Amino acid sequence: MTGYAVTTKETAGGTLTIEIKSVNSRFLDLQFRMNDDLRALEPSLREAIMARVTRGKVECRVSFGRKASSGATQALNTTLLAALAGLQAEVHKRFAEAAPLTVNEVLRWPGLIEEAEIGQETLQADVAAAMAETVGAFVDSRAREGAALQTMLLSRIDDMDAIVQRIAPLVPQVVAQFQQKATERMQEALGLAVKGGPAAPATSPALAREEALERIRQEVTLYGIRIDISEELTRLAAHLTETRHILQKGGHVGKRLDFMMQELNREANTVGSKASLKELSDASMALKLLIEQMREQVQNLE
């Protein structure tokens, strides 16, 4: 999920800034942007982030601006100053009309004013403290977003529960209506008398009446089983209950919710493929839309 945190500290050796930001990703992709003189600290910084973050494309920027030496210890880098003078003299030998360096240009030359000395152990301790603070703020920002996502996901689960509860009572009625219509049509096709109506002319091969009726009952029953979605709705309700439990329990839920989205989508697809009524087909489409909305957000959760 997305998150952002930044910490800036004034240390004895300079200004230290650590910035962490992330965007959505199913896996952890950790990248560092830092000064070359801090590169040796990257393994410990990586461990500090990985200990508390498991998903997301995370970028960490670490910068350290060293202070110049202060007070009586402040001095010029005489070696570099002499080298600059020698280079200027060489240039003037070949380009006599070249303008000399100004005092301002010399003083602004990188490395001419000696920087404050700072021990590696002190720097490492300062960076570790700043990183701990930044990671804490970063995790808190993601937790706030996670709480908002949890509310949204629970709302989608409630919507899906409402759909399941609305269509569940329709299933026995749909199956019964289908069986009745199918029985009547098959009886007419076989030239058998329809209950309550006149006998149709015999157009089918000679079959004993009882055998024909029994065959009709078998076929209608088998197809009725094929369009019965009671089991799918029961499993959908169970999956929704489990998904709600996972969200409310908390912890590392991302991969478990990924799996639940697959199961929910499988049942919703089956409901759609078996739907023999427009209302059931519409309900299947609504379920799949809600599941897709959840799937996109579940990828943001750890």
Whether the per-residue pLDDT at 184 is higher than 60: the answer is yes
Task: Choose between 191 and 131: higher pLDDT.
Answer: 131
**Tokens of residue 97, six digits:** 């009309």
What pLDDT sits at residue 290? 94
Per-residue confidence at 206, pLDDT binned at 50, 70, 90? very low
Amino acid identity of residue 100, one-letter, is: P
Measure the CA angle with vertex 259, ends 256 and 263; round to 5°: 135
Other CB atoms within 10 A of residue 264 CB:
24
Question: pLDDT by residue (tens digit) across 55-76?
Answer: 788 999 998 876 655 554 556 7
Nearest to 41 by CA among 56, 62, 20, 66: 62
DSSP 15: E
What is the spatial distance between Cα 287 and Cα 264, in angstroms, rounded to a whole number?
Answer: 9
Percent of the chain with pLDDT over 90: 24
Q: What is the CA radius of gyration of the chain?
A: 37
What pLDDT sits at residue 204? 45
Q: How much is the pTM?
A: 0.55
Whether the per-residue pLDDT at 53 is higher than 70: the answer is yes
Nearest to 55 by CA among 31, 26, 22: 26
Average pLDDT over residues 241-253: 86
What is the spatial distance between Cα 167 and Cα 169, in angstroms, rounded to a whole number?
Answer: 6
**Tokens of residue 238, six digits:** 């169970």
Q: Between helices 254-274 and 230-249, what is the axis angle to 10°?
A: 160
Q: Which of 169-183, 197-211, 223-237, 288-302 is modeled with the greatest confidence?
A: 288-302
Per-residue confidence at 203, pLDDT binned at 50, 70, 90? very low
Whether the per-residue pLDDT at 103 is higher than 80: the answer is yes
User: Lowest mean pLDDT: which of 22-36, 67-81, 268-282?
Assistant: 67-81
The CA dihedral of 170, 270, 152, 296, to the nearest 10 degrees, is: -160
Average pLDDT over residues 233-253: 88
**Tokens of residue 200, six digits:** 């149709």
